[in-house]
Chain A
Amino acid sequence: MQVVHTGNRRSLENYRDLLLVLFQKEFKIRYKQKVLGYLWSIANPLANAAIYYFAFSVIMGIREENYILFLITGLFAWQWFSNAVGSSPKLFVGNSLIKKIAFPRILIPLSASLNHMVHFILSIPVIILFLAIHNAIPSVHWLWGIPVLLTIHLMMSLGLSLLFASLNLFLRDIERLVSILVHFTFYLTPILYSEDLIPPDYKNYIFLNPVAPLIISWRNLFLDGTIMPLYMLASFGYALIFFGIGYFVYNKLSWKFAEVI
């Protein structure tokens, strides 16, 4: 088996443009024909926050200070993770372009992941607004904390997207499995509750949940401008591992993609 193919050589400028144009495509599609546009991307986490507030604070009487703010600072970050990972199995399936033209397929999950990241960034003003309502202001630590956590979060969601998008082409069950996994992870991650509420015996198990240190870091950063180094390191470690696994699987399988679509 031998292939000498110069038919798809691309310049660096083309790679950049390709990523940009794929990114823009998704971005435009998300907002096209929608009157409320941007509002929709923040409507979901806000609606969820309202429901959880009602259920857990009003009805069940959870004693968490500023519970609505607590919910919102965790939910936006969670929303990014769950949207990116939850939709990832479908990135390659049904993309008939893969059958027609050779280009680095990684650009599809990469542009999707970047899109989810940008939507998260666009929701930060909403978090600031809610902080302001609670008489709080953004901390200076955001200046370094946000870029660091964005990088970790992006790397983790890209790694998982590569893994699930590639595997789902060969095993369509992945799609169902991922949606259940994401659902489980939501309740196992301290989003509705604070990590301080976890009984001491179980507290260290929190590090077995790859998403928990990341979400806790986001919330701490937004709420009081702190990042616990241990949580940050743990989430960085998981991000590296997932990116490594995802890229490895993608790399092994990508040349077979056109055979199974």
Chain B
Amino acid sequence: MREIVVSFDRVSKSYPLYKEFRGVKNVLFDLTKHLNRRSPRFEALRDISFEVYKGEKFGIIGRNGAGKSTTLGLVAGVLKPSAGRVVVNGRIFPLLTLGAGFHPELTGKENIILNGILMGLTRREVLQKIEEIIDFSELEEFIDRPIRIYSSGMLARLGFSIVAHLDPEILLIDEVLGVGDIKFQKKCQEKMMEFRTGNVTMIIVSHSVGSISTICDRVMWIENHVVRMIGDPMEVVEQYCKQAGVEFVVDGNKVQTKTSTF
């Protein structure tokens, strides 16, 4: 049997509605309500169970607000479940974006070091890999300039190059596929394929059912805070599209959603 790296056992997550809590005035007026702690809670996930195996590419789909990002937050260890059990075995590597882990005033190089250390590597380890990262990113002389002048494609390239070369164990990707221009996309795909054969586990949250179904081994569909379906990407994506009322086309190996023209 394959090794389990992430396991959710009947996990629920609810948030208190902090909005009501905000403001001294509200707290004073509703003191009793705040004290008995029965203020309404927002339920983001209800009784979710799934397992991700080592080396697996696991996709999560679902509509906005279904609970996808909460799931990723629980995997990343930044959130704690309200009920249930979360087990994660292996180092987490989130694909960071501008504002989270990148600073606009720092150069590309400085951001690589910042990112790598945030993900748990030591400075020495990052410096050993930095040339490889810079080469892969194709940013050339831009690497020594502040990233606020980067285009969004260049930023995405930098972000992907970093996680791709830090020997990730569990890679968390939140809606950042289709990185850069087509040439770089090809490189990313090749790198992803390399991960596929290696032991890199990937958990991908995306609205792009096309890339989900080509990259992933298994897909989980979250609907209204519960798991609706887990299984073969094609089947799950088909059901998901059907439910959303979007026509989808299977073209050889590729899945595309068809948008009607008006």
Say if the beta carbon of B228 comes within 8 Å of chain A.
no
Q: Which of A16-24, A52-60, A181-189, A220-228 contacts B (4 or more CB under 8 A)?
A: A16-24
A11 on the B face (CB < 8 A): yes
For the complex, give the distance between the alpha carbons of A172 and B83 in Å.
Answer: 28
* Distance (whole angstroms) from the CB of B192 to the closest CB of chain A: 20
A4 within 8 A of B: yes
Chain B: interface secondary structure? mixed
Is B114 a contact partner of A1 (Cβ separation < 8 A)?
A: no
Report whether A100 and B77 are in contact in the complex, using a CB–CB cutoff of 8 Å. no
* Min distance, Cβ B122 to any Cβ of chain A, angstroms: 5
The answer to whether B100 and A96 have CB atoms under 8 Å apart is yes
How does the 8 Å CB contact mask read for B107-119 relative to A, with 1 for contact and 0 for none? 0001001100111
CB neighbours of B122 from chain A (8 A): 11, 13-14, 17
- Pick from B23, B87, B92, B96: contact of A4, CB under 8 Å: B87
Interface residues on B, range: 35 or more
9-residue interface stretch from A140-148, A157-165, A196-204, A253-261:
A253-261
Interchain CB contact under 8 A, B85 and A173: no
- The reply to whether the CB of A134 lies closer than 8 angstroms to some CB of chain B is no
Determine if B232 is an interface residue (Cβ-Cβ < 8 Å).
Answer: no
A170 at the interface (CB under 8 A from B): yes
- The answer to whether A3 has its CB under 8 Å from any CB of chain B is yes
Could you tell me the distance in whole angstroms from the C-beta of A94 to the nearest C-beta in chain B? 9
Contact across chains for A170 and B117 when beta carbons are under 8 A apart:
no
* A98 and B78 contact, CB distance less than 8 A: yes
- Bound together, the chains give a CA A8 to CA B117 distance in angstroms of 12
Stretch of A25-33, A41-49, A118-126, A208-216 with 4 or more beta carbons under 8 angstroms from chain B: A25-33
- Report if A97 contacts B (CB, 8 A): yes
Q: 8 Å CB contacts to A: which residues of B85-100?
A: 85-92, 94, 96, 99-100
Task: Specify which of B75, B76, B90, B117 is in contact with A18 (CB 8 Å cutoff).
Answer: B117
User: Which residues of B, 175-201, contact A by the 8 Å Cβ criterion?
Assistant: none
CA distance A100 to B205 in the complex (A): 13
Does the CB pair B110–A103 fall under 8 Å?
Answer: no
Chain B residues within an 8 Å CB radius of A33: 105
In this complex, the interface size class of chain A, counting residues with CB under 8 Å from chain B, is 35 or more
In the bound complex, residues from chain B placing their C-beta under 8 Å from that of A36 are none
Contacts of B79 in A (CB 8 A): 258-259
Cβ of A10 under 8 Å from chain B: yes
Taking a contact as CB atoms under 8 Å apart, the answer to whether B114 and A21 are in contact is yes
B94-A100 in contact (CB<8A): yes
**B120 CB within 8 Å of chain A:** yes
B22 contacts partner chain A, Cβ-Cβ < 8 Å: yes
Report the minimum CB–CB distance from A115 to chain B (whole Å): 14
Q: Does A135 contact B (CB under 8 A)?
A: no
Q: Is the CB of A21 within 8 A of B113?
A: yes
Q: Contacting A8 at CB < 8 Å: which of B73, B77, B85, B110?
A: B77
B117 close to A2 (CB less than 8 A): no
- In whole angstroms, how far apart are the Cα atoms of A172 and B23 in the complex? 7
Contacts of A6 in B (CB 8 A): 88-91
| Complex CA–CA separation, A99 to B75 (angstroms) | 12
CB-based contact A1/B80 at 8 Å: yes
B99 touches A96 (CB 8 A): yes
Whether B123 and A29, one on each chain, are in contact in the complex, defined by CB atoms closer than 8 angstroms, is: no
CB pair B120–A172 under 8 Å, yes or no, is no
Distance of A11 Cα from B105 Cα, bound (Å): 28
Residues of A close to B110: CB separation below 8 A: 25, 28
Q: Does B55 contact A (CB under 8 A)?
A: no
The answer to whether B146 touches A32, judged by C-beta atoms less than 8 angstroms apart, is yes
> Complex: how many Å from CA A170 to CA B88?
29
Q: Is the CB of B22 within 8 A of A7?
A: no
**Given A4-B88, A7-B90, A11-B122, are A99 and B78 neighbors across the interface (CB < 8 Å)?**
yes
Question: For residue B96, which residues in chain A have a CB less than 8 angstroms away from its CB?
Answer: 97, 100-101
- B81 in the interface (beta carbon within 8 A): yes
Q: Which residue of B lies closest to A18 (CB)?
A: B117
- Near A by CB (< 8 A), chain B positions 42-86 give 73, 75-86
A255 with B100: CB separation less than 8 A: no
Instruction: List 9 tightest A-B contacts by C-beta distance, closest first.
Output: A7-B92, A258-B78, A102-B77, A96-B100, A17-B123, A2-B85, A7-B88, A4-B87, A13-B122
A sample of 17 inter-chain contacts (CB < 8 A) reads A3-B86, A4-B86, A7-B77, A8-B91, A9-B120, A14-B120, A14-B122, A28-B105, A32-B146, A97-B100, A100-B76, A101-B92, A103-B118, A170-B21, A173-B24, A258-B79, A259-B79
Known: A17-B123, A96-B99, A171-B22. 15 other contacts (CB 8 A): A2-B84, A2-B86, A3-B80, A3-B81, A6-B89, A7-B75, A7-B90, A13-B124, A17-B122, A21-B114, A25-B103, A29-B105, A29-B106, A32-B146, A171-B24
